[in-house]
Amino acid sequence: MSDGFEEGRILFRSDDLLVRQVGEIAAGGAVAVTFDCYGDWHGNAVKEGFGERHFAINARAAIHVMPRGNDWYQYPTTEAALAAVKQAVAGAARVVAYGSSMGAYAAIRFADRIAATAVLALSPQYSVDPAKAPFEKRWLQEGRTIAFRPELDGPIRSSVRPVIAYDDRSIDRRHVDRIAADIAVERLPLPFGSHPVGLALMEAGLLQPILHDILDGSFDGDAVRAGVVERLRGTSTYWAERARAQPRWLKWRAVGFARRALALAPQSPLTHHVLATSLDRVRRYTESLPLHEEVARLSDRQPGYLRPYSFARARYGDLEGALALAREVSAADPGRARNHEWEAWLLGMLGRAGEALPAIDRALAIDAEPPNYTKLRDALIAGAPLRRLHPYKRARA
């Protein structure tokens, strides 16, 4: 393989997890153990691990732990996979657990199990189990359907004090507060750093120095915190997140912040997306829709960007155009119940209840808990008005 990617050595493989080592771990040296983040997973085929190219290019040994799906590592084989990692790193002097979001959750929780000496966690969750983190609404489908294992998702026990980088203006602060109630942590707050904060750190030129300093044992948190806000203000992520954070009564100001973000990263689908959705909020659809189309092009029609494009089309009054996009999203991301709900609502609004019912049934087959799915199905059968069941507000959460 090329461009810094090699298959490496497989240390563990099950139906749930794949663990690969790339590079040789020097006796008395340092090694990174990465836990992959939320993504588009298709089994445990060999693929790049989190940050793999960076470690390979910098001749750093790394072990990559990769799950088969977005299950927050709640597998019966997780303990065996971690034991394989611990055995592989036995000769290293420094073992750094590293991950982002779902991977950061794992890096913190499993640090002791892999004999980690340090942790770098970017935007971790305490849990996505609604019973443990009822304030978390971003991964509700996963939180309701994952079978959480008490030995993997109970109170955190760790002899390592993790460095946690997170957006302290977001809900991520509540997760960090919960983590800090269980163990000692070193906080690296990044106001308007978004979720996850890795992109903001990269834009600010901070991610690689922080990671390598932690690997080398020379990390100085006070020095990083002292200049972090000024560094962030020069990033597109900071201004994009400020745009998204504006309340309803300041939604016009969001457009100006979004334009600043786009000027800093004119080829980024994210900055185009933030400006498009900011314009949607002030109903300037003739300006926003071409931007949504550009986002689709720049992102190779990524479903996460096509969904808000479909909402904008619907709000503009183009229900047929919105439906075409909704069907594209459902086909590209069929495991997401809310995509089928949106398709069903649009079909119902177009008077095509016969086609809408199979779509809402697909949503219920994936996730039967949300009451709005059942209410939409009942309304479609009864021929009742559907406007009050519009999924848009839930989709923005």
**How do residues 37-78 score in pLDDT, each as one tens digit?**
998 765 555 678 999 999 999 989 999 999 999 999 999 999
Residue 263 has a CB neighbour count (10 Å cut-off) of 11
Instruction: Give the HSE-up count for residue 242: Cα atoms under 13 Å, Cβ half-sphere.
Output: 21
Q: Which helix (H) or strand (E) holds 247?
A: none
Query: What is the SS3 assignment for 281?
Result: helix
Domain with residue 312: its CATH number is: 1.25.40.10
CA–CA dist 66, 41 (Å, integer): 9
Domain interval for residue 53? 9-232
- Please give the radius of gyration of the chain, using alpha carbons only, rounded to the nearest integer: 22
The confidence score (pLDDT) of residue 393 equals 52
The confidence score (pLDDT) of residue 4 equals 47
Write the DSSP assignment of 142-203 as a string of letters.
HHHH----HHHHSS---SS--EEEE-TTSTHHHHHHHHHHHS--EEEE-TT--SSTHHHHHH
The confidence score (pLDDT) of residue 43 equals 54
Residue among 197, 188, 266 at smallest CA distance from 228: 188
Q: Is the pLDDT of residue 232 over 80?
A: yes
Instruction: Look at residue 241 and tell me if it is in a domain.
Output: no
Q: CA end-to-end span of the chain, whole Å? A: 40
Last residue of a domain, one of 170, 202, 232: 232
Work out whether strand 30-35 and strand 186-189 pair parallel, antiparallel, or are unpaired.
unpaired
Give strand pairing partners of 9: 21
* 274-278: average pLDDT: 98
Instruction: Look at residue 68 and tell me if it is in a domain.
Output: yes
Same domain, 213 and 292: no
The confidence score (pLDDT) of residue 45 equals 59
Same domain, 74 and 105: yes
Tokens of 110: 């499993």
Give strand pairing partners of 19: 12, 65
The confidence score (pLDDT) of residue 39 equals 84
Q: What are the tens digits of pLDDT across the range 75-101?
A: 999 999 999 999 999 999 999 999 999
The confidence score (pLDDT) of residue 395 equals 43
Instruction: Give the HSE-up count for residue 190: Cα atoms under 13 Å, Cβ half-sphere.
Output: 35
Instruction: Look at residue 380 and tell me if it is in a domain.
Output: yes
Tokens of 353: 């209840």
- Strands of 24-117 (E only): list them: 30-35, 62-67, 94-100
> Mean of the per-residue pLDDT values for the chain?
94
The confidence score (pLDDT) of residue 282 equals 97
Instruction: Look at residue 239 and tell me if it is in a domain.
Output: no
Tokens of 387: 């406007």
What single-letter DSSP state applies at residue 44? B
Task: Supply angle C-alpha 277, 280, 283, rounded to 5.
Answer: 165
Instruction: Give the HSE-up count for residue 228: Cα atoms under 13 Å, Cβ half-sphere.
Output: 26
Instruction: Look at residue 13 and tell me if it is in a domain.
Output: yes
Q: Is the pLDDT of residue 149 over 90?
A: yes
Same domain, 111 and 165: yes
CA–CA dist 100, 66 (Å, integer): 13
Report the amino acid identity of residue 330.
Answer: S
Q: Is the pLDDT of residue 392 over 80?
A: no
Same domain, 391 and 344: yes
Same domain, 48 and 121: yes
CA–CA dist 126, 26 (Å, integer): 33
Same domain, 250 and 225: no
Q: Count structural domains, the chain.
A: 2
Instruction: Look at residue 2 and tell me if it is in a domain.
Output: no
pLDDT tier at 150, thresholds 50, 70, 90: very high
Q: What are the tens digits of pLDDT across the range 277-314?
A: 999 999 999 999 999 999 999 999 999 999 999 999 99
pTM score, whole prediction: 0.91
Domain with residue 209: its CATH number is: 3.40.50.1820
